[in-house]
């Protein structure tokens, strides 16, 4: 069975808005064993929408519409699908009454246009929308194929607001689709790695995952991170889980410590967990990352047990004040130097009384300084210091890209350096 998702709304044909419901719907359909073969985005235009509906009904088995179920003149999904199927709409009295009562409660007269939210495709089941006013619709029907043989078609109409769409799909459509589709037992695994080129991961893992022809492997390159997703279906849940686990273990043996997470946890969460297990505390002194490293860590709930805080030492004066970096060191080597990275890490650890201190200093750009002790140093040059009271390591990086990329990668290197140190 293949599916088509049709997102309805002129705003999604502007440069400002994108259909995002289809990502959620695709994940949900995939879990039911249904692949999405087409996605169509169409505006609030009756002719365009009804022709897109007719095309989808010919080429897909399951067609999910999102949007266009509201009360305005622009909301045309009901009418267009009816036209595409050659069906009529009837006004459902119970839904009409419920709509009228909603307005009565608010003591407003219901505009006549709102009545059309009670219009139902002949043969369809109304899907009650608890969080919004437009109900969804489910139609399990058949159309004639080229030789007159019947083709089963499941047509689903869902409201556009993501929370309403999700609630209706989960509550009303998933159980109905499960009942119609053959049963499936699915298992997934996710391995995450930081700062490794995608081509390296693929070269090392392809010889392994290609042998698992029954497991779908997807490599995704994200922000300074590579993810390996495994997906399989088997006659039993146990068999499915065992199979993805088997592959994940072989990949873990190959990639070793490059894998920071084998259960989907983020790098920040892994670092938090490791600090917690070792009962250690962390503080940071950030220059070029300007608070990004602290921000990423504090995005995790309950990190306050292990993250004390830190300083955004943007000026030289603050490097001295908050992280005890000697003024002479700043003058001699410049703020962007291994010496200052080391002093920041040592200094913030001592000032804040933490187990580990991290210092980040670098040039995020856009311009290279022309005066002072850092004159001529290249954009993208970053030093990270890590101090644990016994030893202080310093890492030098030359990061490509723009300011945003340099700052993010610097924070990622700092987290990854900390993770490897704690391992």
Q: How far is the CB of 229 from its own copies (least distance, A)?
A: 7
Quick check: helix, strand or coil at residue 184? coil
Report the chain's terminal Cα–Cα distance, integer Å. Answer: 46
The two tokens of residue 63 are 């067609």
Distances (CA, A) of 123 to 58, 227, 353: 19, 44, 70
Q: Which stretch binds its own copies (CB under 8 A): 30-38, 72-80, 175-183, 248-256?
A: 30-38
Q: How far is the CB of 243 from its own copies (least distance, A)?
A: 20
The answer to the question of residue 39 lying near its own copies (CB under 8 A) is yes
Provide the mask over 375-394, with x wherever binding to its own copies is found by CB under 8 A and - wherever it is not: --------------------
Provide the mask over 264-293, with x wherever binding to its own copies is found by CB under 8 A and - wherever it is not: --------------------x-x--xxxxx
The answer to the question of residue 71 lying near its own copies (CB under 8 A) is no
The phi-psi region of residue 176 (left if phi > 0; otherwise alpha if psi is between -120 and 50; otherwise beta) is alpha
Give the Cα separation of 265 and 228 in Å (integer).
13
Longest dimension (CA), the chain: 89
Q: How far is the CB of 281 from its own copies (least distance, A)?
A: 9
The answer to the question of residue 212 lying near its own copies (CB under 8 A) is no
Q: Which residues contact 157 (CB under 8 A, 6 or more apart)?
A: 65, 69, 77, 78, 81, 121, 124, 136, 137, 138, 139
Q: How far is the CB of 146 from its own copies (least distance, A)?
A: 14
The answer to the question of residue 12 lying near its own copies (CB under 8 A) is yes
The answer to the question of residue 177 lying near its own copies (CB under 8 A) is no
Q: Which stretch binds its own copies (CB under 8 A): 137-145, 179-187, 207-215, 312-320?
A: 312-320
User: DSSP string of 366-417?
Assistant: SS---SSTTTTPPTTEEEEEEE-SS-EEEEEEE--S-HHHHHHHHHHHHHHH
Q: How far is the CB of 28 from its own copies (least distance, A)?
A: 9
Give the Cα separation of 318 and 295 in Å (integer).
19
Binds its own copies (CB under 8 A): choice among 24, 245, 350, 373: 24
Q: Looking at the DSSP assignment, which residues form a beta bridge with residue 191?
A: 228
Quick check: helix, strand or coil at residue 198? helix
Give the Cα separation of 138 and 30 in Å (integer).
19
Q: Which residues contact 407 (CB under 8 A, 6 or more apart)?
A: 288, 289, 290, 292, 364
Q: How far is the CB of 343 from its own copies (least distance, A)?
A: 16
Q: How far is the CB of 419 from its own copies (least distance, A)?
A: 19
Q: Which is nearer to its own copies, 41 or 139 (CB)?
A: 41
| Number of neighbours of residue 416 by Cβ within 10 angstroms | 23
Binds its own copies (CB under 8 A): choice among 1, 33, 45, 176: 45
Query: What is the total residue count of the chain?
Result: 423
Q: Rg of the chain's alpha carbons, rounded to an integer?
A: 29
The answer to the question of residue 57 lying near its own copies (CB under 8 A) is no
Q: Which is nearer to its own copies, 30 or 137 (CB)?
A: 30
Q: Which of 280, 244, 275, 279 is nearest to 262 (CA)?
A: 244
Provide the mask over 216-255, with x wherever binding to its own copies is found by CB under 8 A and - wherever it is not: --x-x--------x--------------------------
Residue found under tokens 């998702």: 5
Q: Which is nearer to its own copies, 140 or 202 (CB)?
A: 202
Binds its own copies (CB under 8 A): choice among 86, 93, 256, 301: 301
Q: How many CA atoms lie within 13 A of 17 on its CB side?
A: 14
The answer to the question of residue 355 lying near its own copies (CB under 8 A) is no
Binds its own copies (CB under 8 A): choice among 67, 70, 310, 359: 310
Q: What are phi and psi of 120, to 5 degrees?
A: -125, 140
How many residues lie near its own copies (CB under 8 A)? Answer: 69
The answer to the question of residue 322 lying near its own copies (CB under 8 A) is yes
List residues binding its own copies (CB under 8 A). 11-18, 20, 23-24, 26-27, 30, 35-43, 45, 48, 51-52, 55, 59, 218, 220, 229, 284, 286, 289-295, 297-299, 301, 303-304, 307-315, 317-318, 321-322, 351-353, 365-367, 403-404, 407
């Amino acid at each position: 069975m293949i599916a088509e998702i049709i997102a309805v709304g002129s705003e999604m044909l502007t440069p400002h808005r994108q259909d995002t419901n289809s990502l959620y719907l695709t994940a949900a359909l995939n879990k039911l064993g249904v692949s999405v073969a087409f996605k169509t985005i169409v505006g609030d235009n009756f002719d365009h929408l009804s022709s897109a509906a007719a095309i989808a009904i010919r080429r897909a088995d399951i067609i999910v519409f999102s949007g266009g179920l509201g009360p305005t003149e622009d909301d045309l999904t009901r009418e267009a699908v009816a036209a595409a199927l050659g069906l009529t709409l009837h006004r459902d009295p119970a839904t009409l009454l419920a709509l009228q009562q909603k307005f009565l409660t608010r003591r407003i007269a219901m505009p006549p246009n709102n009545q059309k939210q009670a219009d139902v495709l002949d043969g369809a089941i109304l899907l009650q929308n608890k969080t919004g006013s437009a109900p969804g619709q489910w139609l399990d029907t058949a159309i004639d194929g080229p030789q007159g043989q019947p083709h089963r078609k499941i047509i689903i109409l869902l409201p556009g607001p993501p929370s309403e769409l999700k609630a209706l799909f989960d509550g009303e459509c998933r159980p109905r689709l499960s009942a119609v589709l053959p049963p499936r037992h699915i298992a997934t695994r996710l391995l995450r790695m930081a700062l490794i080129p995608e081509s390296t991961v693929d070269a090392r893992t392809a010889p392994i995952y290609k042998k698992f022809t029954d497991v779908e492997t997807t490599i995704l390159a994200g922000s300074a991170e590579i993810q390996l997703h495994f997906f399989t279906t088997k006659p039993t849940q146990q068999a499915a889980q065992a199979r993805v686990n088997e592959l994940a273990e072989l990949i873990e043996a190959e990639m070793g410590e490059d894998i920071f997470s084998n259960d989907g946890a983020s790098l920040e969460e892994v670092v938090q967990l490791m600090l917690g297990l070792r009962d250690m505390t962390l503080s940071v002194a950030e220059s070029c990352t300007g608070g990004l490293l602290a921000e990423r860590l504090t995005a995790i709930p309950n990190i306050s047990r292990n993250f004390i805080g830190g300083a955004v030492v943007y000026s030289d004066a603050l490097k001295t004040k908050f992280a005890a970096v000697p003024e002479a060191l700043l003058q001699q080597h410049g703020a962007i130097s291994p010496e200052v990275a080391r002093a920041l890490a040592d200094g913030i650890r001592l000032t804040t009384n933490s187990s580990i201190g991290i210092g980040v200093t670098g040039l995020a750009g856009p311009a290279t300084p022309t005066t002072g002790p850092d004159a001529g140093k290249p954009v993208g040059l970053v030093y990270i210091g890590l101090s644990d009271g016994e030893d202080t390591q310093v890492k030098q990086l030359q990061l490509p890209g723009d300011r945003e990329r340099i700052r993010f990668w610097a924070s990622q290197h700092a987290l990854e350096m900390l993770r490897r140190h704690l391992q």
